[in-house]
Structure 1
Amino acid sequence: MATAASKETEILRKAKSMLAPDYVPSEDEEYMNAQHRAYFQMLLIEWKQSIRDAADQTLQSLADGPIREADLNDRASSETDWGIELRTRDRQRKLVSKIESALRRIDEGEYGYCEVTGDPIGLKRLIARPVATMTVEAQEAHERREKVSRDK
């Protein structure tokens, strides 16, 4: 685990050294050039680290001890809060795997291109959703097909 973290730290340091402090990818530049890749790599690694930090805080809170409210209503409320917190962490665990997949696609030179059509996904969409794997059109078509198969 320490080697993965140190590797990510090195990648992050390298990506930050390539970019100006206030750099944001622009449509005027060549699509998915080295700066774009460095920007998204930095964004994804920092996002992944913030998720891991939040998970560590949740684990620490759980380790601090069980819920000990005297009032049954307070205890039920606390248990509900913990249930929500744990579901959130589970969703974020799944998000971490999507982030790792996006980082692999950057390394392989496939990041930023639709897995269905091969077309560029677009900078605005990637900035809004860095783990996106499809263009808006391909995603909409996918969701329509999913809805139709669910409705049958």
Structure 2
Amino acid sequence: MENRALTEEDIRNDNGDDYMNARHLEFFKGYLQKMKQQLLENANATSQHLQEQEATPDPADRATLEEEYALELRTRDRERKLLIKIDQAIARIDANDYGYCEDTGEPIGLKRLLARPTATLSIEAQERRERMKKQYAD
């Protein structure tokens, strides 16, 4: 077996044998850590951006700036929630529970995890939850 780190392409082309082996776990941990680092950099940039802004006397400009700030803060809030999910996913990797559906215990799948590395449900379980939620909402 090769010692080089897996790439996204390796994960996409994986045939599913030896699911969630040590190399898979190492890949996803690194992938999640990179995501986390990017989100933290975004949050830091937002903080700096908001601190550097000057007040503008024009009400229209001020309203535009306030709307931009509000949008930026909503985005950072979503990212803050994603950071929590990333930390939980990394904890699941450390506990050797990563990659398995929390409802069924079945593998979530490498491709799904590549698309959504914080996923805790298989596609089938996610669809079932969404159907149930919709059924009760109607």
Structure 1 length-normalised TM: 0.81
- After superposition, the C-alpha distances for 1:53-74 in whole angstroms (9 at most, x for unaligned) are 00001111122245x2232111
1:91 and 2:78 are equivalent in the alignment: yes
Q: Does 1:121 align with 2:105?
A: no
List structure 1 runs of 4+ shifted beyond 6 angstroms: none
For residues 21 and 99 of structure 2, what CA distance do their matches in structure 1 show?
Answer: 11
**Does residue 50 of structure 1 match 2:50?**
no
**Amino acid of the residue matched to residue 51 of structure 1?**
L
- Aligned-residue identity in percent: 46
Work out the number of aligned pairs and report it: 134
Matched, 1:24 2:10: yes
| One-letter amino acid of the counterpart of residue 55, structure 1 | A
Of 35-44 and 25-34, the range deviating more from structure 2? 25-34
* Contact residue 24 and residue 39 of structure 1 kept, 8 A: no
* Unaligned runs of at least 5 residues, structure 1: 1-16
Distance 1:115 1:40 in 2: 18
SS in 2 for 1:87: helix
Runs of 5+ in structure 2 lacking a partner?
Answer: none
Output the TM-score relative to the length of structure 2.
0.89
